[in-house]
Amino acid sequence: MTSERPLTKDMKADGEALTLKEYERAGGYQGIRKALRMGPKDITDQVTKSSLRGRGGAGFPTGSKWSFVPLGKDAPHPKYLIANADEMEPGTFKDRLLMEGNPHQLLEGMMVASRAIEADVAFVFLRGEYVLSAQRLQRAIAEAYAAGYLGEKIFGSEVGLELHLHLSAGRYMCGEETGLLNALEGKRANPRTKPPYPQISGLFGKPTIVQNVETLANLPHIINNGVEWFKKLSYSADGGSKLYGASGKVKRPGLWELPMGTTIGELLHEHAGGMRDGVEFRGLLPGGASTDFLTEEHLDVKMDFTEVQKVGSRMGTGTMIILDDQTCPVGMVWNLEDFFAQESCGWCTPCWSGLRWAERILWAFEQGHGSEADLEKLEWICKFCAPGNTFCALAPGAVEPLQSALKYFRDDFLRHVREKQCPWR
Amino acid sequence: MLSSEERGEIEAEMLKYPNKQAACIDALKIVQRRRGWISDESIREIAEFLGISTDELDGVATFYNLIYRKPVGRHVILLCNSVSCWIMGYNRLRKRLCERLEIQLGETTADGRFTLLPIVCLGTCDHAPALMVDDDLHRDLSPDSAEQILERYR
């Protein structure tokens, strides 16, 4: 098995961004040249066959997402392509690397996706705190315009593409696809009713695709090297490599590009170096704050969209947060629910009311005021916030770590009740 | 009145969008960068310039946490309180900064030098705990190193 790292192999050891010249010397901007000769349907077809799934967390098949965008001369214009660079899922730090290390790769990915849906205008929706990403993207965009790779008649073709950087002003809700669209229109980032889906009526009511940074960065490589090559990068049915990460009390927290389907145990023990001396492993959130806990029994599970789902969690963003035995699991879940309650946009009741309620109960446990009856209330809130009961995916995601903590760390909750305090204090 | 520089910058942002309102978040950020925060007067001036109601603009301004509707200090500390930093020592860091600066989260020091705000995950979790001061990211912090870093900001 080859372990190719298409997304990160060209990045510099000193962490500086590749310039346009350096990117091209490494083979960059060949994918878009090829895509311009292919035509939209062929690009989408190739991406569909590659089995690329969205790297923002939901894992929706990318080609299939594009297939709903109206094409041809009767389609409404302008159409929009948006890079979701609002990396704000707690515990997630992968898109930062892609933007800081190789901004042109993202731009080329956006160009390829724009061709597939015949988009006229593209935006990078970047969180405001990513200052270095913003500087490097801004420079890369200027270089691309100066080279004739953006603007009118890109690469000497008959098609044009405008590309802008939008710096956001905060709020986790902006990462939600339709919340992002509202934010980009200068409104509060409340989610929108679906249907209509953004592919039909998105930004300013026009057909729009919103795609995660890592997903887009894969596209030039798929076009360049083909479907079979891309599938072979992976150990599993979901194609490609994946940026995996680990944070918490491991020996070597970090980020690694590895074959999709690398096991959780390999990530934890080989790449993150196992637990620090003096602390034991208790569990982990596989891909950000809004994924269910997994434990020791799951270390052989392959990290991909399908396999992690089979054991009751989600791969999410693929950046794991590790819980150790010196950290209170109830306190950790309190921290997560406090985050989600704060970031709820307030649009629907289960979310704004339920999440703050859960946070208050968890805080009571931490103060030694929790009871067994409170555990039932927490379970009820998890059901109350389940998919189908809320307007968007924020609350269902928010209760994933809570419902799984109640399952795996029930004894720790009960210890708080018995000892009338947090045993970790 | 918006200054001609402010108007010029906002107009440049407006070119990206099919309507004026879409530039309102950019406009808020432009004005905040020059004035430090967004006062009621700034809201009125921006709203008038973009042709939207002040209430609508204030609804947007108060939604986004990086828009400051109160005066802030010369330097804004954004202290990450999300899960990885929480595991790696956020509480000790917060305690030290609050003691050192003699303020709570959300407050500004008496000398107007620092405002201390919590922030959601800064996306640098492999180097937790972390904080930002203005545009600078600081990582792998201890209470001592965080305190030293603040000395650089006058």
Q: How far apart are CA A372 and CA A385, in angstroms?
A: 21
Tokens of A143: 């270089």
Q: B75-80 and B131-133: which strand pairing? A: antiparallel
| Whole-number Cα distances in Å, A406 to A127, A279, A370 | 33, 22, 13
- Confirm or reject contact between A93 and chain B (CB < 8 A): yes
| Whole-number Cα distances in Å, A173 to A2, A183, A346, B65 | 39, 9, 10, 12
What is the pLDDT of chain A when averaged over all its residues? 97
All residues of chain A having their beta carbon less than 8 Å from the beta carbon of residue B88 are 247-249
Beta carbons of A185 and B28 less than 8 Å apart: no
Beta carbons of A332 and B83 less than 8 Å apart: yes
Instruction: Assess whether A306 and A411 both reside in one domain.
Output: no
The domain limits of chain B are 4-61, 75-150
Beta carbons of B25 and A246 less than 8 Å apart: no
Q: How far apart are CA A203 and CA A210, in angstroms?
A: 10
**Residue A124, SS3 per DSSP:** strand
Q: Give the bridge partners for A255, in sequence order.
A: A245
- Confirm or reject contact between A100 and chain B (CB < 8 A): no
CATH of the domain at A171: 3.40.50.11540
Q: Residue B33 pLDDT > 70, yes or no? A: yes
Nearest CA among A385, A340, A392 for reference residue A362: A340
Q: Is the link from the previous residue into B129 a cis peptide, with omega within 30 of 0?
A: yes
Locate the chain B residue with the closest alpha carbon to A131.
B135
Range of the domain at A123: 20-232
State residue A424's pLDDT score: 96
Considering only the beta carbons, identify the residue of B21, B63, B83 that sits closest to A335: B83
State residue A1's pLDDT score: 45
All residues of chain B having their beta carbon less than 8 Å from the beta carbon of residue A172 are 120
B22 close to A125: Cβ distance less than 8 angstroms: no
- Confirm or reject contact between A335 and chain B (CB < 8 A): yes
What sign for the dihedral angle of Cα B122, B123, B129, B132?
Answer: negative
All residues of chain A having their beta carbon less than 8 Å from the beta carbon of residue B16 are 123, 164, 166
Determine whether A78 is exposed, middle or buried from the number of CB atoms within 10 Å of its CB (0-12, 13-18, 19+). Answer: middle
All residues of chain A having their beta carbon less than 8 Å from the beta carbon of residue B23 are 186
Instruction: Assess whether A77 and A133 both reside in one domain.
Output: yes
Q: Which residues of B touch A (CB under 8 A)?
A: 16-19, 21-26, 28-29, 59-60, 63-67, 78, 81-84, 86-88, 119-128, 132, 135-137
Beta carbons of B128 and A204 less than 8 Å apart: no
> Packing angle between helix B4-14 and helix B24-35, nearest 10 degrees?
150
Beta carbons of B123 and A129 less than 8 Å apart: yes
- Confirm or reject contact between A172 and chain B (CB < 8 A): yes
State residue A425's pLDDT score: 87
Q: How far apart are CA A280 and CA A326, in angstroms?
A: 8
CATH of the domain at A415: 1.20.1440.230
Considering only the beta carbons, identify the residue of A169, A189, A327 that sits closest to B67: A169
Tokens of B106: 């959300």
Residue count (chain A): 425
Instruction: Assess whether A92 and A128 both reside in one domain.
Output: yes
| Whole-number Cα distances in Å, A314 to A280, A302, B35, B104 | 23, 11, 44, 37
Instruction: Assess whether A200 and A271 both reside in one domain.
Output: no
Domain B4-61 annotated CATH 1.10.10: yes
The CA distance from B62 to the nearest CA of chain A, in Å, is 9
Instruction: Assess whether A216 and A81 both reside in one domain.
Output: yes
The verdict on residue A4 lying in a domain is no
**Residue A218, SS3 per DSSP:** helix
The CA distance from B126 to the nearest CA of chain A, in Å, is 5
Instruction: Assess whether A316 and A334 both reside in one domain.
Output: no
A212 close to A54: Cβ distance less than 8 angstroms: yes
Considering only the beta carbons, identify the residue of B23, B81, B87 that sits closest to A332: B87
The verdict on residue A13 lying in a domain is no
Instruction: Assess whether A350 and A373 both reside in one domain.
Output: yes
What is the pLDDT of chain B when averaged over all its residues? 97
User: Which residues between 32 and 91 in chain A have a beta carbon less than 8 angstroms from any beta carbon of chain B?
Assistant: 87-91
Q: How far apart are CA A375 and CA A370, in angstroms?
A: 8
Structural domain count, chain A = 3
Considering only the beta carbons, identify the residue of A183, A184, A253 that sits closest to B126: A253
The verdict on residue A35 lying in a domain is yes
Q: Does the ipTM exceed 0.85?
A: yes
Considering only the beta carbons, identify the residue of A92, A170, A332 that sits closest to B64: A170
- Which residue in this structure is represented by tokens 């921290």? A335
Beta carbons of B125 and A247 less than 8 Å apart: yes
The verdict on residue A279 lying in a domain is yes
Tokens of A204: 């300013």
Locate the chain B residue with the closest alpha carbon to A167.
B26
Sequential pLDDT tens for chain A (425 residues): 457 999 999 999 999 999 999 999 999 999 999 999 999 999 999 999 999 999 999 999 999 999 999 999 999 999 999 999 999 999 999 999 999 999 999 999 999 999 999 999 999 999 999 999 999 999 999 999 999 999 999 999 999 999 999 999 999 999 999 999 999 999 999 999 999 999 999 999 999 999 999 999 999 999 999 999 999 999 999 999 999 999 999 999 999 999 999 999 999 999 999 999 999 999 999 999 999 999 999 999 999 999 999 999 999 999 999 999 999 999 999 999 999 999 999 999 999 999 999 999 999 999 999 999 999 999 999 999 999 999 999 999 999 999 999 999 999 999 999 999 999 98
User: Which residues between 102 and 141 in chain A have a beta carbon less than 8 angstroms from any beta carbon of chain B?
Assistant: 123, 127-132
Given A299, A324, A349, the domain boundary residue is A324
Instruction: Assess whether A167 and A26 both reside in one domain.
Output: yes
Q: Which string of DSSP letters, residue by residue, matches chain B?
A: ---HHHHHHHHHHHTTSSSSGGGHHHHHHHHHHHHSS--HHHHHHHHHHHT--HHHHHHHHTT-TTS-SS---SEEEEEE-SHHHHHTTHHHHHHHHHHHHT--TT-B-TTSSEEEEEES--S-GGG-S-EEETTEEE-S--HHHHHHHHTT--
Please count the other Cβ atoms lying within 10 Å of the Cβ belonging to residue A237.
15
State residue A363's pLDDT score: 98
Mean local confidence (pLDDT), B38-51: 98
Instruction: Assess whether A82 and A189 both reside in one domain.
Output: yes
State residue A3's pLDDT score: 76
Domain B75-150 annotated CATH 3.40.50.150: no
Q: Residue B105 pLDDT > 80, yes or no? A: yes
- Confirm or reject contact between A195 and chain B (CB < 8 A): no
The verdict on residue A6 lying in a domain is no
Q: Which amino acid is at A336?
A: L
Q: How far apart are CA A124 and CA B72, in angstroms?
A: 29
DSSP assignment letter at A159: -
